[in-house]
């Protein structure tokens, strides 16, 4: 099955700086890569996703890049703000694969 590894496990950044979280996956058939943000005690919420026919996708301060050859994808948050503090999960799945395989999560803390 798919195995997703996520790094770093914790990340502390100064407000206004950028944050980058990286994930690698094992199954070359995977073609869907979502990112979820989870605030304390709340449900994971989809913040951005990318499909394998695209190399990069942006949504305001958030961007995701995908390198299918190297089997890794990254989340980039620019101009970080205190409300970006949360746990972020990456995930991967294939077209014919119901299961979403999650990374272990990254706790992001934005220092004011």
For residue 4 the two structure tokens come to 């997703």
For residue 10 the two structure tokens come to 């914790």
Task: Tell me: does residue 85 bind other proteins (CB under 8 A).
Answer: no
Backbone angles phi, psi at 26, to 5 degrees: -105, -30
Contacting residue, 62, 68, 102, 109, with other proteins by CB under 8 A:
102
Task: Tell me: does residue 94 bind other proteins (CB under 8 A).
Answer: yes
State the minimum distance, in angstroms, from the CB of residue 18 to other proteins: 24
Q: Which is nearer to other proteins, 46 or 67 (CB)?
A: 46
Tokens 């119901």 belong to which residue?
98
Task: Tell me: does residue 27 bind other proteins (CB under 8 A).
Answer: no
For residue 89 the two structure tokens come to 């999960």
HEC secondary structure over 63-84: EEEEECCCCEEEEEECCCCHHH
Contacting residue, 7, 49, 68, 109, with other proteins by CB under 8 A:
49
Contact residues: other proteins, CB under 8 A: 31-32, 34, 41-46, 49, 51, 89, 91, 93-100, 102-105
């Amino acid at each position: 099955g798919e195995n997703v590894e996520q790094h770093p496990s914790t990340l502390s950044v100064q407000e206004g700086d950028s944050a980058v979280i990286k994930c690698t996956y094992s199954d070359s058939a995977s073609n869907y890569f979502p990112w979820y943000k989870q605030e304390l005690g709340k449900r994971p919420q989809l913040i951005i996703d990318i499909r394998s026919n695209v190399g990069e996708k942006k949504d305001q301060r958030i961007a995701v890049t995908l390198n299918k050859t190297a089997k890794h994808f990254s989340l980039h948050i620019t101009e970080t703000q205190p409300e970006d503090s949360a746990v972020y999960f990456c995930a991967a799945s294939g077209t014919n694969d119901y299961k979403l395989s999650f990374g272990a999560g990254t706790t992001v803390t934005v220092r004011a």
